[in-house]
Structure 1
Amino acid sequence: MIIVITMTLSALPPESTLHALLPTPLHGQCESMRFAAGALLFAQGQIPVWMFFVETGEVVLERHGRQGESACLQRCQHGFVGEASLTSPRYHCDARALRPGNAIRVPVPALRQALQHDSDFALRWIGMLSGEVRTLRLRNERLSLPRIQDRVVHLIETEGHDGHYTPDCPVSQLARQLAVTHEALYRCLARMEQAGLLARTGSTLQLQKNLPPTAVEAPVDKQAGIAPKPRQA
């Protein structure tokens, strides 16, 4: 059994994102928790008791089918998980930690009550959800692109600043976010560097110039998650 350590907070730390989002009466009802890799924050079918805000680490939402198959619904490194269960009688998926980290959990009954009676908080909550929808749309748009290079460029342009992007995770984790193997991502980054399209300083990725319309790689192989080798003439 994987143990999750919790600690009641007398007040949310001012540097926490939740400090500005949640109304003051909720601050003292939050609990800080540390989780190990593999820990379940909540399980599919359980009655929602807590809403979890991931501060560090990585948590994946998974839904299991009748035949035992598993579908990944979301990966979260910072933000709420399980918002869809706020008004549901049961959690609709599992929340499993991929990497150890910290989270703050908020009691669902108190959160529901605050949303019903505090209109300012309700508007802030709607604004947060709207931002998450925009982020998810960008990620879906990114994963619809056929080439790894296109996904890398899209990531830098949408989540970076002025052509620079510094991931907060190893390349192997970044590859999973781009839905490719880490070997394929390493090869793509190397080709982009050789072509003068990308520079790497430490972990920072920097676009060097406008990308040409021609590819420096082939489309992603949907079965293997890598770019297939070009055929010989």
Structure 2
Amino acid sequence: MSAPAAPPRPATRSTGRLVVLVSGGGSNLAALLAAHDGPDYPARVVGVVADRASAGGLEIARAAGVPTAVVAPGDFADRAGWDAALAEAVAVFRPDLVVSAGFMRILGAPVLERWPDRVVNTHPALLPSFPGAHAVRDALAFGAKVTGSTLHVVDAGVDTGPVIAQVAVVVEPGDDEASLHERIKVAERAMLVEWVGRVVGGGMRVEGRAVTVG
């Protein structure tokens, strides 16, 4: 009697292929690249896509031997053209999970519909508090005593997707935007590496606002 067929593996576990989207220096990308060299890490960065040719993350990727692509909004007549081109650039790498790591653009339907519940983003605040591009500055201006970082599923809103994981960072007396952001980045990198590994290794299910990993 033959053994029963194994259930299908979730798409996020199939081969652990990551595409990372970057706009800036690429510190989160560097953390993922360092992790993916470990023999037990279940994910691997197979491509990096940037929205500008000057993004420092591109050099980090190239130094690691990871293929890159640049899809600059200024090269397209309208937003729809850029959205479609970004989706095609990402698709070249056949990702299981798309990681927006310091990517300063809202992702449109061509990406979100092609990889439903498989696009994740890091944000330097404890969502739903302080969404948007100035989260660290806004937390300081509000007088928050604790902030941090959030890993969430990307949806069509601005930092509104279901939360996968969060890490808290205490606001210290005398903190300015730079010092607080640097501590958040340290915590964020560790969270990102851990939870991307969990998502790829165990799969992820999204039901409304609830996210189950593993």
Structure with more contact order per residue of length (Cα contacts < 8 Å, sep ≥ 6):
2
TM-score norm. by structure 1 comes to 0.24
TM-score norm. by structure 2 comes to 0.25
Structure showing greater Rg = 1
